[in-house]
Amino acid sequence: MAKRSTPRSVLITGASSGIGRALALEYGKRGAHVVVTARREPELVSLCEEIRGAGGRADHLVCDVADPVAAHAVAKRGEEILGSLDMIVANAGVGASSHASRLSLEDVVRTIDVNVRGAMATLMGAIPIMLGQKHGHLVGVSSLAGRRALPGSADYSASKAALTVFLEGLRLDLSRAGIDVTDVQPGFVETPMTSKNDFPMPFIWDAAKAATYVADGLERAPAMVAFPPPLRFLTRLAQLLPFSVHAFATRRAARRSTKRNG
Ligand SMILES: NC(=O)c1ccc[n+]([C@@H]2O[C@H](COP(=O)([O-])OP(=O)(O)OC[C@H]3O[C@@H](n4cnc5c(N)ncnc54)[C@H](OP(=O)(O)O)[C@@H]3O)[C@@H](O)[C@H]2O)c1
């Protein structure tokens, strides 16, 4: 795959913390003008100051992607600031581990509103802009957890699987129009989202390492950037297993971690 140039104009949702924040810092360092969005404005303001302090260009927009109209409009608002839109990263997401017997309707609706409807609306808002430019890169942050459900992750895994298939469909429809589409599938990354987890998180990366890996990977605009490599391999293997084997292996791992954590 040929290496593309670094995008000059990038919009990232969910940039007030974690992976989105680290990716904004990374693109700032790489010379892109970055528009960062999320709900918490003070965090966005201090991120922009940090990017500018390091010599980069950054602006912020407040946007709640659980409102599909707002999510759909954010690409246009970003393009007005940036002057073009080389890349949009639908990264905003929520997730908490919850056993099926304790799932609340409110939490499941929120997961779907943010991770599925919000991400889809964000990316859809960028499509006409990129078609008009005749170039652009649509990026969605799903998860390795979307490849196969894990105990306590029914709604989260389902939301990420939906986003993965949506991105694949966009790639099928848009690649001939000069628009790249990439599905970023992280394994465990140290962020506020995972800081609540009380189970083992094998091969966990820090957010800066993840952001560098993602930005390097996106340069070739592949269908997928999945990491870390050992978990990418194991989750691919899990996709080939019959349900009974997958269930045995994951329940055993869950029991072991429960024992270890008391
Ligand atoms: N960390 C991991 O191990 C991991 C693994 C696989 C995939 N992921 C995915 O990576 C993405 C980033 O997660 P993270 O780990 O960096 O989590 P995080 O630190 O909790 O960040 C989540 C980001 O999403 C934003 N967000 C949440 N709800 C929003 C809403 N309604 N509207 C707009 N923004 C919203 C948050 O900003 P505000 O609260 O300011 O709105 C925050 O900036 C998520 O899609 C997550 O599912 C993470």
Q: Would residue 91 count as lying in a domain?
A: yes
**Ligand 1 proximity of 157 Cβ (cutoff 6 Å):** no
In short, whether 47's Cβ falls inside 6 Å of ligand 1 is no
d(CA 58, CA 108): 33
Instruction: Tell how far the Cα of 123 is from the centroid of ligand 1, in angstroms.
Output: 16
Distance 186 CA to ligand 1 centre (A): 12
Residue 261 lies in a domain: no
Element of type H or E holding 172: helix 154-174
Domain count, the chain: 1
The conformation of residue 150, written as its DSSP 8-state character, comes to -
**Which residues are known catalytic residues?**
156
Whether the model pTM is above 0.95: yes
101 inside domain: yes
Domain that holds residue 95: 9-234
DSSP strand E in 6-81: where? 9-13, 33-38, 57-62
Any domain includes 29: yes
**Which atom of ligand 1 lies at the shortest distance from residue 207's CA?**
16
In a domain, 243, yes or no: no
Residue 27 in any domain: the answer is yes
Residue 172 lies in a domain: yes
CB of 89 closer than 6 A to ligand 1? no
Strand partners, 33: 9, 57
Per-residue pLDDT of the chain (262 residues; tens, 9 = 90+): 666 778 999 999 999 999 999 999 999 999 999 999 999 999 999 999 999 999 999 999 999 999 999 999 999 999 999 999 999 999 999 998 889 999 999 999 999 999 999 999 999 999 999 999 999 999 999 999 999 998 899 999 999 999 999 999 999 999 999 999 999 999 999 999 999 888 889 999 999 999 999 999 999 999 999 999 999 999 999 999 999 999 998 888 777 665 655 4
Answer yes or no: is the C-beta of 188 below 6 A from any ligand 1 atom: yes
Nearest to 23 by CA among 249, 212, 198: 212
CA of 13 to the centre of ligand 1 (A): 9
**What CATH number does residue 80 fall under?**
3.40.50.720
Q: Atom 43 (ligand 1): residue with closest C-alpha? A: 14
Answer yes or no: is 191 within a domain: yes
